[in-house]
Structure 1
């Protein structure tokens, strides 16, 4: 059965590597909570792990934020970030297929500070606290005497220990020689990889003088430089002057170029427009030749509406032939997706495997925040072959 979950998961795979599903968002206007300061950014900086703090890039004015999708950072009277909202104007929205980071799980994150800990809670677009990224209702950072993060644990609504969607309950960090060393554990105290599809276990994280992550080195399960099954042992991450994550490069533990990890390329390259929107993705082998990603795409191409919502996504094969084209349409408030449409090279509706053989999908949003999908044929008659589930 082709469920809504499968469609959402496929879309995230299309835009980058297979990522976790994001919580559903209807809309909720900015609440009345007051802050000492607020700033607005079109995007947030890439985070490979939750060790790094959230950081906005591509700042915009209050006026521009009124009509554009953006992250609103709010600060307490000590200058600490205590809330981040992804919103259109003042309405919370879901990600709308805009990928900035592996570590962004809800339309709103609230942060509270205590003597030796920092607590993050998550909210949907109706401004209701939710369990995000699995059943994580609360994320609790442990801090050392200098305020550095040394651990992170996840808990459910009853305050019981819980695992994230990546099977992680606890992160542990130690600081040594200017590096950060990270391990992850499930509820059985077994080490877990960075993500299920990224088989680095203990890692050495290197941050530059601007606190951007630049190297991730795999130390395996024994604390020594290790290659995973793909031959990868090091990921190098490169940014442009705006803070956009522009490239990753894959090396063996000895520093030799390899085509590894899930994408099975040596270099992955993200392309951006002037607003920081990710408009392209392409891969290269270790000889700097273009290479097809492991999921079959040779090149990804995306376009955006003026307000920052994604408009379309295309996948091309090695011959330059269009293999998939997805058009996204939104409700009048531009707060959530109303239609997904599969188009051919002539921009006509066409059946697509990603929609289970249908050509279009329409979402109806319900009062409880869930959404009801309906599939259609290319002539917009209702697609009857498979029944989809209702929900997030």
Structure 2
């Protein structure tokens, strides 16, 4: 029965990958796709996928992620571009990610907007995935520019993943010495288990100890502890709500003082408003503002952010004293 369940799970995840590469957003060259945004992810286990597909003609003037697939349908490059130019202000960790496949390995390397090799935001030059016999990711390690093993910025040398009999994806992380380690200093969680919907979107991330979900109560886990996160989406795949909860289901503040947020988007998937709440489900206060609204230009570039109270009245940010931030870009 367990083998049957695993087979069904693998088939579902394989179907998700196929769906992510379907016609939407493709040009006449079936190996190329264009997307305005990348799908939300909480773990490097997830495949890189796009949302809000656009046409090749639209891609000439709109900021986008260009996906290139090989003849087998495998993703080989992800580039943040407008027209034929790589852009500097990417959200993918690099302007260009090149992916090659060697045996059971999937190797990602990173390049800046000038096409030069670069260290990714995570603090490494290469990410090396190991795949199981079904092609699913089971391990991730990191390397420097010379190919030497390194830890990332959170002192993680490698990730291990396993699909459990109940369909959850188990994640553990280790230091170079082989000691199990936390996700990061602000989310000091060890074993995590991820729940996905039928479209491959993560809907829950939970802390586990052994086979029991537990409450993280160490420093940076809030006053009442943190047990799991929940994620909600709209039909376009945009993240609309993010919640943090204790083992009893009570909202719980993270290190930064918020317990949940709600996002609104325009028709192109640009986040136009984010509203944050504390563990009492009250609008964020103190040294933070509850509402941030954003404005974008015709290319999809952020041009203005506005700080507001819960009544959508303009206020100065409690720490910076800034109410409106405007962004200009070199052409």
- TM bucket, shorter chain: 0.7 to 0.9
Shift of 1:313: 1.3
| CA distance 1:183–1:270, change in 2 (3 Å) | same
Aligned pair partner of 2:151 in 156, 159, 163:
163
Q: Is the 8 A contact 1:117 1:140 kept in 2?
A: yes
Shift of 1:134: 4.6
Shift of 1:141: 0.4
For 1:136, the equivalent position in structure 2 comes to 124
The C-alpha deviation readout for 1:75-113, integer Å capped at 9, x for no partner, is 0001111110001111111226xx5xxxx2101111112
For 2:266, the equivalent position in structure 1 comes to 273
Are residues 1:95 and 2:84 paired?
no
Alignment TM-score, normalising by the size of structure 2? 0.82
The 5-angstrom pairing of residues 142-153 of structure 1 reads 142-153=130-141
Distance 2:287 2:252 in 1: 14
Aligned length: 289
Q: SS where residue 151 of structure 2 aligns?
A: coil
Distance 2:278 2:144 in 1: 43
Distance 1:65 1:131 in 2: 27
For 1:38, the equivalent position in structure 2 comes to 32
For 2:250, the equivalent position in structure 1 comes to 257
The C-alpha deviation readout for 1:121-174, integer Å capped at 9, x for no partner, is 111111112221254111110111111110000011122111112222211101
For 1:62, the equivalent position in structure 2 comes to 56
Q: Is the 8 A contact 2:251 2:280 kept in 1?
A: no
Q: Is the 8 A contact 1:36 1:76 kept in 2?
A: no
Distance 2:279 2:190 in 1: 24
For 1:192, the equivalent position in structure 2 comes to 181
For 1:345, the equivalent position in structure 2 comes to none
For 1:244, the equivalent position in structure 2 comes to 238
Q: Is the 8 A contact 2:94 2:111 kept in 1?
A: yes
For 2:308, the equivalent position in structure 1 comes to 316
Q: Is the 8 A contact 2:253 2:278 kept in 1?
A: no
Q: Is the 8 A contact 1:296 1:317 kept in 2?
A: no
The 5-angstrom pairing of residues 1-392 of structure 1 reads 37-95=31-89, 104-176=92-164, 177-219=166-208, 224-228=212-216, 229-230=221-222, 231-254=225-248, 256-285=249-278, 288-292=281-285, 296-317=288-309, 320-323=313-316, 324=322, 325-331=324-330, 333=331
In structure 2, the gaps of 5 or more residues are 1-28, 317-321
Distance 2:307 2:156 in 1: 32
Distance 1:105 1:140 in 2: 15
Q: SS where residue 95 of structure 1 aligns?
A: coil
Shift of 1:295: 5.4
Q: Is the 8 A contact 1:263 1:295 kept in 2?
A: no
Q: SS where residue 150 of structure 2 aligns?
A: coil
Distance 1:192 1:266 in 2: 24
Distance 1:289 1:133 in 2: 33
Q: Is the 8 A contact 2:215 2:227 kept in 1?
A: yes
Shift of 1:53: 0.2
Aligned residues: CA RMSD: 2.0
Worse-matched range after superposition: 132-141 or 122-131: 132-141
Q: SS where residue 322 of structure 1 aligns?
A: coil
| CA distance 1:72–1:200, change in 2 (3 Å) | same
Q: Is the 8 A contact 1:258 1:265 kept in 2?
A: no
Distance 1:295 1:43 in 2: 31
Shift of 1:317: 4.4
Distance 2:255 2:280 in 1: 19
Q: Is the 8 A contact 2:93 2:122 kept in 1?
A: no
Q: Is the 8 A contact 1:133 1:164 kept in 2?
A: no
Q: Bigger relative contact order, structure 1 or 2, given CA contacts below 8 A and separation 6+?
A: 1
